[in-house]
């Protein structure tokens, strides 16, 4: 049975860190409010000339180095972003050119905060089908560019960054103990567009627009949808919450993550948390958290890792990985 195995991870963050106290100087908010409602203390914000592709490339180079793979060995790049450098070409082809990859295919995926899980699913399926052998999957955002810095309800929640993984086709027994991505599960429901969206775009306003959100509504949907998709992923593999070694959730809000862990009866020691220092980096949050937990030795070969995310669309999804 052919599966896609994660053989390298890497991440990149802009240098500039913005604290809650710094935001409180320009909008009517406080460190106390932000920490209590979201768990966020600080976020990284890209420099004016720092683009999504710069962060993506830096994360990709680290993931390739860990995997001992050259850019020219890749035959697929799938990059998840909501904040591409330009309307076109895809940010993925910029990364492709910079890495010296001239064959195969590179494209972007847009599923907002679920983008990394969607991109991982695309690459996993192409590897399973034999359409790719060595793939780079990236989540990269300069989400700060979409923020209305006068809207305290949204501007305190997000940050910039990128994370990447390298996937390699492996042949194995096909049991849940064999390494690789066990399964991916994607969902969307466009009826909820009005709860989280950007009020602009090339074909509507001709502008980039700003993030608009009904936070409380999004919160409710997140907790329900995530619980359902996690259950779906576990039961598809005949596994239970007790089998999970690490939960690597999309990092939107500590309260959403706490609620998901509680529903799974999973102790917080098994949850990888970065939201306090990265805030919500949209498609970048899962690979940023993954790269940290792999590099500090928390995630080890043989571990069962559950990834899950929800975002604008609404979109949501999960992936189960035997490390």
Q: Which residues bind ligand ACO (CB under 6 A)?
A: 29, 33-34, 37-38, 113, 152-153, 156-157, 196, 213, 215-216, 218-219, 222, 250, 252-253, 280, 310-311
The reply to whether 20 belongs to the active site is no
Question: Whose Cβ is closer to ligand ACO: residue 80's or residue 310's?
Answer: 310
Supply the minimum distance, in Å, between the C-beta of residue 29 and ligand ACO: 3
Supply the minimum distance, in Å, between the C-beta of residue 147 and ligand ACO: 12
Question: What is the b/e burial string over 183-209, where b = at least 16 CB atoms within 10 angstroms of the residue's CB?
Answer: bbbbbbeeebeebbbbeeeeeeeeeee
The reply to whether 221 belongs to the active site is no
Q: How far apart are CA 170 and CA 230, in angstroms?
A: 25
The reply to whether 280 belongs to the active site is yes
Contact 173, 114 (CB under 8 A): no
Q: How far apart are CA 223 and CA 235, in angstroms?
A: 18
- The active-site residue out of 113, 185, 225, 253 is 113
Nearest to 280 by CA among 20, 15, 40, 54: 40
Supply the minimum distance, in Å, between the C-beta of residue 38 and ligand ACO: 5
Question: Whose Cβ is closer to ligand ACO: residue 52's or residue 280's?
Answer: 280
Supply the minimum distance, in Å, between the C-beta of residue 261 and ligand ACO: 15
Which residues contact residue 76 at a Cβ distance below 8 angstroms, ignoring those fewer than 6 apart?
A: 104, 105, 106, 123, 126, 127, 131, 132, 134, 135, 136
Q: How far apart are CA 39 and CA 189, in angstroms?
A: 27
Question: What is the b/e burial string over 8-46, where b = at least 16 CB atoms within 10 angstroms of the residue's CB?
Answer: bbbbbbbeeebebeebbeeeebebeebeebbbbbbbbbb
Question: What is the b/e burial string over 214-252, where b = at least 16 CB atoms within 10 angstroms of the residue's CB?
Answer: eeeebbebbbebbbebbbebbeeeebebeebebbbbbbb
Question: Whose Cβ is closer to ligand ACO: residue 171's or residue 194's?
Answer: 194
Tell me the backbone φ, ψ of residue 61, rounded to 5 degrees: -60, -40
Question: Whose Cβ is closer to ligand ACO: residue 116's or residue 246's?
Answer: 116
Supply the minimum distance, in Å, between the C-beta of residue 166 and ligand ACO: 25
Supply the minimum distance, in Å, between the C-beta of residue 218 and ligand ACO: 4
- The active-site residue out of 44, 192, 250, 278 is 250
Q: What is the DSSP letter of 156?
A: T
Write out the catalytic residue numbers.
Answer: 113, 250, 280
């Amino acid at each position: 049975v052919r599966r896609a195995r994660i053989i390298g991870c890497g991440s990149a963050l802009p240098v500039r860190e913005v604290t809650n106290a710094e935001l409180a100087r320009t909008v009517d908010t406080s460190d106390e409010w932000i920490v209590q409602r979201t768990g966020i203390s600080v976020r990284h914000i890209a420099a004016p000339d720092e683009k999504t592709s710069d962060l993506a490339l830096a994360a990709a180079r680290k993931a390739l180095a860990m995997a001992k793979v050259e850019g020219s060995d890749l035959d697929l790049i799938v990059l998840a972003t909501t904040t591409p450098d330009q309307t076109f070409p895809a940010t993925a082809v910029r990364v492709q050119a910079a890495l010296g990859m001239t064959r195969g295919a590179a494209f972007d995926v847009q599923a907002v905060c679920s983008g990394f899980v969607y991109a991982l699913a695309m690459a996993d399926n192409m590897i399973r089908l034999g359409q790719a052998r060595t793939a780079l999957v990236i989540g990269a955002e300069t989400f700060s560019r979409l923020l209305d810095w006068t809207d305290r309800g949204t501007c305190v929640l997000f940050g910039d960054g990128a994370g990447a993984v390298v996937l390699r086709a492996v042949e194995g027994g096909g049991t849940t103990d064999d390494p690789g991505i066990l399964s991916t599960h994607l969902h969307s429901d466009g009826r909820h567009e009005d709860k989280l969206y950007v009020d602009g775009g090339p074909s509507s306003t001709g502008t980039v627009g700003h993030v608009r959100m009904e936070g409380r509504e999004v919160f409710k949907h997140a907790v329900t949808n995530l619980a359902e998709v996690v259950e779906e992923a576990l039961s598809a593999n005949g596994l239970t919450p007790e089998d999970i070694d690490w939960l690597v959730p999309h990092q939107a809000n500590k309260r959403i993550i706490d609620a998901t862990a509680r529903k799974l009866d999973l102790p917080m020691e098994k949850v990888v948390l970065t939201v306090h220092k990265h805030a919500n980096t949209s498609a970048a949050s899962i690979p940023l958290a993954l790269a940290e937990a792999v590099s500090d030795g928390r995630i080890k070969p043989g571990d069962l890792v559950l990834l899950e995310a929800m975002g604008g669309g609404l979109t949501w999804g999960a992936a189960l990985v035997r490390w």
